[in-house]
Structure formats: structure tokens, C-alpha cells
Amino acid sequence: MLDPIELDRQYNPRAAVPEHPAFFARWRADSERARKALPADIDLPYGKSNSERLDFFHAGHPGAPLLIFIHGGYWRSLDKSDFSFLAPAFVAKNANVALVNYGLAPGTSLEKMVRQLLRAVSWLYKNDTAMRFDAQRIVIAGHSAGAHLAAMMAAADWSRWDPSLPDNLVRGIVCISGLYDLEPLAQAPFLKDDIQLDNAGARKLSPISYRPSLAVPMVTAVGGDESTEFHRQNTLIRSSWPSCFQQNVPMTGRNHFSVVDALCDQDHPLFQSTLSLLSAR
């Protein structure tokens, strides 16, 4: 295990990228423009708590696939509204986009967050007719902590969660700069007091502790300028889930925040790989 100082250096991207506030400000401005420009249902409730809300951006014709995006922020910050800027590129390619909120730490445990995402994905699947999308083409993408939650959705036993759901509910995942082994995070000084995980809890909530029952196609990516631990995490999920791994997208010259911009760049391989997952039947 790395010492506390090194854990913070490896896992705290805001410290590693001092210009990160500029990314957040640009994302919010672009997201506000996207919400004004696109047809969308904002703050749809998928559960009872105020945090259980999602935004749905419509492709404009029935039967289009659905991309569900789960935001990062180390399970303790950011909001779905910060990521509306991702929607226009996919809507332009005839894909619906759902952005999901969940409760944040320390008020919400990571285990509860996983259950909230299970509810959100279930709710979307069951409302395919009302939302006019193809429930056979649901792809989940996530960044950082959101990639952790996306991977947990790929590992979910859907019919056990709800007997009315199919085991192959998720048809693909895109995991960007994700966290799949939580044991180091449970000891990182900048984070541990918020996520409050002991080693047993960290193992229980680590995607590498599970093996998806089905080979859910998985695309991974990590910024070329990110720390060695983020690269280790990216390699770890691919080696842990060999039946799922489909492609690792090179992200040369990108940091932990600029990788997100690639997801909505129609000329970037990350966007194109995500679109290919959405287009598969």
C-alpha cells in the first residue's frame, strides 16, 4: 500500500490539475446552452429522495438508443446539470442521453449510491415506451467515480434485483478514468473521511470483486497525463473482466478532466467507440 502522501498525490486530480476550475466553469456554461437548445425533460424523479433525479435529452424519433452518463466528483461533488454539454453530440447522431444524479458523500454511503443507480437504470428501462427509446440498446458511460458506478451496473444481477428485468439490460459500458479497486481510496487522506470505508467495505464495493454474468462489451480510457495509479486502475478492470473488454482508447496528452471533453468530440475515437456500442444490435 502506498503511504498517505503518495495516495493523495496519485489519486487527487484536482491537486494535479490546478486549472480544473476552468474546466468546471466551461462545462457549466456549455451545459446551460445545451439545456436551452435541446428538447429535454429535466429533474425526472426515479426514486423518492431529492437526489434521485435524472435529465433526459430526446433524440427526436422513436426507437433510438440510450446513453446513460454517470458523473464523477469522487462520489461527493458535481451534479448532472454540469454535464448536459455531453448531450448535443449524441443527439445529433440520433441517440438519447440520460444524465443521472445520486446522493453524495458523506451524507450518502457508496453502497446506497449503487442502489440508487440500480433504481435509475431500472426506471429508465421500464419507461422506454414513454421516453420513446430502444430498451435493447442501453449503454452506460461514467467518468472517475461515475465509471466506478457504471462498472457496478455492468456487474449487477438484474433479474435478482427485479425479476421483471432481463439479465442483459446493459448492452455496453464506457469507463473513463475509473476507480475499480477502492482499497487505496479508503486510506487516502483527502477522501477517506467522506467515503468512510473500511477494507471489507472497500472490497465489497470494488468492481474487481465481481465478474459480470454476461460479457457486457466494455470500452475503457484514461488520460495519458494521469497518474500511474489511474493507469493501474484502468489496466486492472480490463484484466479482471477479460470477457467484457473490447477496446482501450488512447488519450495522449489528456488529463483527468480533458478526457471528458473527448466523449462529446465527434471526431475523437472515444466518441466513435461509444457510438458504436449504441449502434450495436
In a domain, 245, yes or no: yes
In a domain, 211, yes or no: yes
In this predicted model, what pLDDT tens digit does every residue of 215-246 receive, in sequence order?
Answer: 999 999 999 999 999 999 999 999 999 999 99
Hey, CA dihedral for 119, 123, 126, 128, is it positive or negative? negative
Q: What is the DSSP string of 181-207?
A: --HHHHH-TTTHHHH---HHHHHHT-G
Instruction: Kindly state the average pLDDT of the residues 8-18.
Output: 98
In a domain, 212, yes or no: yes
* Residue type at 187 in one-letter notation: Q
In this predicted model, what pLDDT tens digit does every residue of 245-261 receive, in sequence order?
Answer: 999 999 999 999 999 99
Instruction: Kindly state the average pLDDT of the residues 79-108.
Output: 98
At 281, is the pLDDT very low, low, confident or very high (cuts 50, 70, 90)? confident
In a domain, 148, yes or no: yes
The structure's pTM equals: 0.98
Beta bridge partners of 245: 218
Structural domain boundaries enclosing 58: 4-15+36-78+91-279
C-beta of residue 39 within 8 angstroms of C-beta of residue 91: no
In a domain, 26, yes or no: no
In a domain, 150, yes or no: yes
In a domain, 140, yes or no: yes
pLDDT for residue 181 is more than 90: yes
pLDDT for residue 198 is more than 80: yes
CATH of the domain at 102: 3.40.50.1820
At 1, is the pLDDT very low, low, confident or very high (cuts 50, 70, 90)? confident
In a domain, 230, yes or no: yes
**Number of structural domains found in the chain:** 1
